[in-house]
């Protein structure tokens, strides 16, 4: 049975919902890490959630940061309706506990309620921020795997994507609901989440005013092709989870990364953490999407550029590696399914899905 009520905090009048009765209290929240879905990423069995259809209810959740006011909620609702979907907000999206959208228990309970609600077909994070990793010990990943639904979002939501991948559930790394949703982003999400398509993603061609008409849209650190399951997300979130029981096995995987507002030495430090923790051992290939505003303003002429850092760190892994895919904190970012098989061509700067993300 679905519970419906009206959210009136700060004057917002919105339909919210969640199968709260299905949880029978916070005492049912799991305290263990999700069981691993198998060994080598290429051999792992993954469960694909049902695709979204026109008119489906999309649950809008806030696993991390809060939405500042009801006007932001109204804009998000308008965006979701333009997708042909029906928005349903978790009650905590306007809650606030410091920089979080409510307490860990509240956010975890409402996330699980959306997964349990039979009327909700898929879930999308309203925004990132910080806080998704704090929910991991409180989530019942076994229950989610038994009845999977699309979960979409990016940035801090990387923590949820990786834990879902460990549990064997495919999710979608793409724009949050409060994002700009340019036509390219919507087309990509629609193809992956609603049509079950297997698109080819290409690093964009730069059409600048220089004589050659080309620029640094793609940088190939090591050429070649590779196949594996797509695993990854935000570099800072991934590196912070190193050593925890919530990461999938990256052996045989295509690792994809993105970052924003981090100086070059911090990118170096986080990639070093991945290397020292063994995450880079045995990967089949690596794609670094966009590194937005990744410059230290006080670096000076002698500083490494972020591209030099990536070249030194990724070029020596012995696997195909390139940078420039439209993944990350950029307008027009594409939706990348986490956990599906894909092939990359580092010389061409492409990612080709080899299986659909949805059933």
Integer CA distances (angstroms), 72 to 4, 66, 96, 310, in order: 21, 10, 15, 36
Which position among 106, 110, 258, 343 bears the catalytic label?
258
Which position among 155, 185, 202, 335 bears the catalytic label?
155
- Residues 304, 263: contact at Cβ < 8 Å? no
Residue 199: enclosing H or E segment and its boundaries?
none
> Which alpha helices (H) appear in the chain, and where do they start and end?
70-82, 104-116, 132-135, 141-146, 158-166, 183-189, 235-240, 264-276, 306-314
**Is residue 155 among the annotated active site residues?**
yes
In whole angstroms, give the CA distance from residue 357 to residue 269. 32
- Strands (DSSP E) found in the chain: 3-7, 14-18, 57-61, 86-89, 120-125, 150-153, 171-173, 200-202, 219-222, 225-234, 254-260, 285-292, 321-323, 336-338, 341-345, 350-353
The neighbouring-strand residues paired with 160 are none
**Is residue 293 among the annotated active site residues?**
no
What do you get for the CA distance between the two ends of the chain, in Å?
Answer: 25
**Is residue 335 among the annotated active site residues?**
no
In whole angstroms, give the CA distance from residue 143 to residue 108. 13
Cα 321 to the chain's mean position, in Å? 20
Which position among 161, 239, 262, 329 bears the catalytic label?
329
How many H-runs (helices) and E-runs (strands) does the chain carry?
9, 16
Rounded CA Rg of the chain: 20
Q: Is the dihedral of CA 96, 117, 183, 206 positive or negative?
A: positive
Integer CA distances (angstroms), 97 to 59, 69, 153, 313, in order: 21, 14, 21, 38
Q: Which residues are designated catalytic?
A: 155, 258, 329
């Amino acid at each position: 049975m679905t519970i419906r009520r009206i959210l009136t905090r700060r004057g917002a009048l919105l339909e919210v919902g969640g199968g709260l009765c299905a949880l029978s209290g916070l005492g049912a929240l799991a305290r263990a890490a999700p069981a691993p879905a198998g060994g080598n990423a290429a051999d792992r069995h993954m469960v694909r959630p049902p695709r979204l259809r026109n008119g489906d209810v999309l649950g809008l959740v806030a696993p991390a940061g809060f939405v500042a006011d009801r006007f932001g909620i109204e804009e998000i609702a308008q965006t979701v309706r333009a997708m042909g979907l029906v928005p349903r907000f978790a009650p905590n999206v306007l809650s606030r506990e410091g920089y979080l959208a409510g307490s860990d228990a509240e956010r975890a309970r409402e996330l699980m309620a959306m997964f349990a609600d039979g009327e909700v077909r898929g879930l999308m994070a309203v925004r990132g921020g910080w806080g998704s990793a704090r929910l991991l010990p409180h989530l019942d990943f076994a229950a989610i795997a038994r009845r999977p639904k699309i979960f979409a979002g990016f940035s801090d939501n990387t923590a949820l994507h990786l834990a879902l991948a460990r549990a064997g559930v495919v999710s979608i790394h793409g724009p949050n609901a409060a994002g700009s949703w340019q036509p390219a982003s919507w087309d990509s999400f629609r193809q992956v989440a609603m049509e079950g398509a297997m698109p080819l993603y290409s690093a964009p061609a730069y059409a600048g005013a220089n004589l050659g008409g080309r620029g640094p849209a793609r940088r190939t650190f090591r050429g070649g092709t590779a196949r594996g399951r797509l695993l990854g997300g935000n570099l800072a979130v991934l590196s912070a989870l190193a050593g925890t029981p919530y990461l999938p096995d990256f052996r045989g995987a295509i690792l994809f990364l993105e970052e924003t507002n981090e100086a070059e030495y911090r990118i170096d430090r986080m990639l070093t953490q991945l290397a020292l923790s063994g995450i880079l051992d045995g990967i089949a290939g690596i794609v670094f999407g966009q590194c937005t505003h990744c410059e230290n303003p006080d670096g000076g002429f002698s500083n490494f550029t972020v591209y030099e850092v990536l070249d030194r760190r990724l070029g020596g892994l012995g696997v195909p590696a390139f940078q420039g895919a439209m993944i990350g904190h950029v307008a027009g970012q594409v939706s990348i399914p986490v956990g599906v098989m894909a092939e990359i061509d580092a010389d061409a700067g492409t990612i080709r899905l080899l299986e659909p993300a949805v059933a």
